Structure 1
Amino acid sequence: MSRDVSVVIVAYNSAALLPACLAAIPPECPVVVVDNASPDDSALVALAARPGARVIRAERNLGFGPGANAGFAEVVTEFGLLLNADASLEPGAVAGLVAAARRYPGGAMFAPEIIAPDGRMQFGHDLPFRRLRGPVVEPSGDACCWYVGGSAMFLRMSAFRALGGFDPGIFLYFEDDDLCLRMRAAGHALIHVEGARVRHEGGASSAPSETLNWWKAFHQGWSRLHLEAKHHGQAAAWRLALSEAPGLGLKALFRRQDPRREKWSGRAAGMRAWITGRKATEIALGRRRQGPSGT
């Protein structure tokens, strides 16, 4: 069963995490590691930890979704598993996901049970545009779901390719939400699979830094407006931008001692970049201008 699955990992500054991640992947699974121009030794570490892996060394940081697309372009198996570098498969996880895909031929995306370090299940989140709102309820048994997160996303490759993969315009964040929305619009089911378990550290795929955290917040702001415009129209995106960006900028400017200041500053800057028509994939992790809410 595992021979029907290729695992794709997008790495950026992930050298400390890749050995454990790669060691947990069944030996018969083809593995593709996309190194997003990491300043550390991610590519060399991946080759040492998994000598048979296909390691793609990008000349620049492509972003998460475009990096995943580059990895999946190398996949020839029926299924693909997108796996974060800070995630680790438990024994039987891949076989369980393949078995579920065979049981549910109408499913195109499958979510394993994502287990946090404290032992609790990380069951995704609600999608931004779901009409029937309500609490996200942890499933019991296999269950249809609204969202499959990018930390461990099992894909039927024929459906993924038919939709063109991840949105190439999104550098980081909400690329998984966008794919879920497009999969459901195309009539495919998203299914949470009981018993297929993945351990996930969460937020640890790249070595942390203040600058990187700011850029993550920047792309959260930009991608949220991109998603709104794509699925609800430009007017809706402008309404969202005008309702949130000024307040974020003001909080970043005046609450200088608040630990959330960097996040507010980054998100406000990302929203302003979207408003002015700048492309996230061209900005990437570009040089940050000095100031509490600058780009």
Structure 2
Amino acid sequence: MTAAAACPPPEAACSVVIVAYNSAALLPDCLAAIPADCPVIVVDNASPDDSAAVAEAARPAARVIRAGRNLGFGPGANLGFAEVTTEFGLLLNADATLEADTIAGLVAAARRYPEAGMLAPEVIAEEGHMQFGHDLPFRRLRGPVVEPSGDACCWYVGGSAMFLRMSALRGIGGFDPDIFLYFEDDDLCLRMRAAGHALLHVAGVRVRHLGGASSAPAPRLSHWKAFHQGWSRLHLEAKHRGRAAAWRLALAEWPGLALKAALRRGDARREKWAGRAAGILAWMRGRKAQQIRLG
């Protein structure tokens, strides 16, 4: 047996999961940049376009799962990760592309830091700057989030590329199935840390990200995205800080959003205000995001 056969490439230790919705224009570039040794699973969330067929043509060896309905981002990811048999999994946005050594660098970092349950590369925006996540809602820090200059433990990692130790992900039960869209990454980070896993930002390993392009834009979709931002933020608050805290947040935010949506009819932001207010109201009425989906 040759040395090459005895030592499989690090890319073979990681599967890439992509949740697609109206992503046909983005999938060819995304899939082409994934190393050939990586197993790939694409979950098509009942896209109105031909995302599934495009994925099959662009990556014939990929496992393409056609969901019967739009499951949402986290539940769609859970469906993909259920197929993963490798040590690690990378949840990758359709509007993100890997560099040649991204997977190898993340696998090396995960083995260097065995306490890390979730890792993130440097995410580079189209304009060339680093997109370094955000602070978690409950931390209440003052001042901007400081970008790390080397490998660093963080409160939050994620976004367009979430590299996961599969044993850690399965140990906490995967993504919250009640969240349709937004704040599923914040929730995962909070639960990972609560379970004793470190979150690690890996320096020098990069992913290119277009930003906001994972699905084709449409006015109706913009409304429902804002709706789920409102609903999911309250779900997160109730789950991690209690329902009383969530109600305080809802009552503080809903009147202003509803008033701006009603009065500022010429403002381009009105649709987002209305959507977010509707999501908050739906949460207050006890409606479930998974029942509402995209309306």
TM-score, length basis structure 2:
0.96
Name the residue aligned to 2:7: none
Name the residue aligned to 2:17: 8
8 Å contact kept, 1:82–1:150: no
Is residue 2:195 matched to residue 1:177?
Answer: no
Is residue 2:57 matched to residue 1:48?
Answer: yes
Name the residue aligned to 2:70: 61
1:115 counterpart (120, 124, 128): 124
Separation of aligned partners in 1, 2:202 and 2:256: 40
8 Å contact kept, 1:219–1:270: yes
Separation of aligned partners in 2, 1:95 and 1:138: 23
1:136 counterpart (145, 153, 162): 145
Q: CA deviation at 1:150?
A: 3.0
Is residue 2:217 matched to residue 1:197?
Answer: no
Separation of aligned partners in 2, 1:110 and 1:229: 26
Q: CA deviation at 1:180?
A: 0.2
For residues 233-248 of structure 1, the aligned pairs below 5 Å read: 233-248=242-257
Q: CA deviation at 1:132?
A: 4.8
Moved more, 157-166 or 140-149: 140-149
Name the residue aligned to 1:290: none
Separation of aligned partners in 1, 2:94 and 2:261: 31
What is the CA deviation profile of residues 136-172 of structure 1, one whole-angstrom value per residue up to 9, with x for unaligned ones?
A: 1011011111111231000000000000000000000
2:263 counterpart (250, 254, 275): 254
| SS of match in other structure, 1:220 | helix
Amino acid of the structure 2 residue aligned with 1:138: E
Amino acid of the structure 1 residue aligned with 2:247: W
Q: CA deviation at 1:135?
A: 2.3
TM-score, length basis structure 1:
0.96
Name the residue aligned to 2:277: 268
8 Å contact kept, 1:36–1:63: yes
Is residue 2:218 matched to residue 1:209?
Answer: yes
For residues 144-163 of structure 1, the aligned pairs below 5 Å read: 144-163=153-172
Q: CA deviation at 1:134?
A: 4.1
1:26 counterpart (32, 35, 54): 35
2:92 counterpart (74, 83, 92): 83
Count of paired positions: 286
Separation of aligned partners in 2, 1:11 and 1:135: 32
Name the residue aligned to 1:221: 230
Give the RMSD, CA atoms, in angstroms. 0.7
| SS of match in other structure, 1:71 | helix
Name the residue aligned to 2:109: 100
Name the residue aligned to 2:6: none
Amino acid of the structure 1 residue aligned with 2:231: W
Q: CA deviation at 1:133?
A: 4.4
Name the residue aligned to 1:71: 80
Identity of aligned residues (%): 80
Amino acid of the structure 2 residue aligned with 1:3: A
| SS of match in other structure, 1:70 | helix
8 Å contact kept, 1:116–1:122: yes
Name the residue aligned to 1:292: none
Amino acid of the structure 2 residue aligned with 1:115: I
What is the CA deviation profile of residues 158-192 of structure 1, one whole-angstrom value per residue up to 9, with x for unaligned ones?
A: 00000000000000000000000011111110000
Amino acid of the structure 1 residue aligned with 2:181: L
| SS of match in other structure, 1:38 | coil
8 Å contact kept, 2:133–2:159: no
Separation of aligned partners in 2, 1:129 and 1:4: 34
Q: CA deviation at 1:246?
A: 1.0
Separation of aligned partners in 1, 2:244 and 2:66: 39
Separation of aligned partners in 1, 2:74 and 2:26: 20
| SS of match in other structure, 1:125 | coil
